[in-house]
Amino acid sequence: MKHKSTGTLIRKLKEARGFESFCIENAEELAEADFCAYLEKLCREKRKEAGRVISASDIDRTYGYQIFNGTRRPSRDKAIQLAFGFGLDVEETQGLLRAADKSVLYPRIKRDAAIIFAISRKMSLTETQIFPMSLGMSIIGE
């Protein structure tokens, strides 16, 4: 699904007859209020179990389940690790970061650009952690 630009959403919000109608018409564009619900939705869409996502994300099992059940909020790096665990593409990763209330990957930031590059090349999490480190940047989850 192609997402609307932020500029388009702002224009639609300004032109909306009411906030509720804006929300209904643009529901797919708005971040989930409940990150747990967002993760559950991703599990259904990607046909993955939470435990497998956590393992593939290289996140401590207990901490990972705390993220999934809502007792802990992930850091930005943990959210990025979850994106790898789910096998998300760049757009889906940006959506996960928004749902986690974290800043999206920004290509003008060298480390973020390296992560975008790695995701778009379908590098594994391990390869992606090594890649920025080889460029003198911190690894994901450090």
Q: What is the pLDDT of residues 83-98, one digit of tens each?
A: 999 999 999 999 999 9
How high is the pLDDT of residue 29? 76
Q: What is the pLDDT of residues 34-72, one digit of tens each?
A: 899 999 999 999 999 999 999 999 999 999 999 999 999
How high is the pLDDT of residue 23? 81
Q: What is the pLDDT of residues 11-41, one digit of tens each?
A: 988 998 998 888 888 877 776 558 999 999 9
CA distance 6 to 138: 29
Phi, psi of 20 (to 5 degrees): -60, -45
Query: Which residue, among 140, 127, 129, 98, has the nearest Cα to 3 in the 3D structure?
Result: 98
Task: Give the predicted TM-score (pTM) of the model.
Answer: 0.78
Q: Are 140 and 129 in contact (CB under 8 A)?
A: yes
Helix (H, G, I), strand (E, B) or coil at 57: coil
How high is the pLDDT of residue 74? 95
Q: Are 141 and 78 in contact (CB under 8 A)?
A: yes
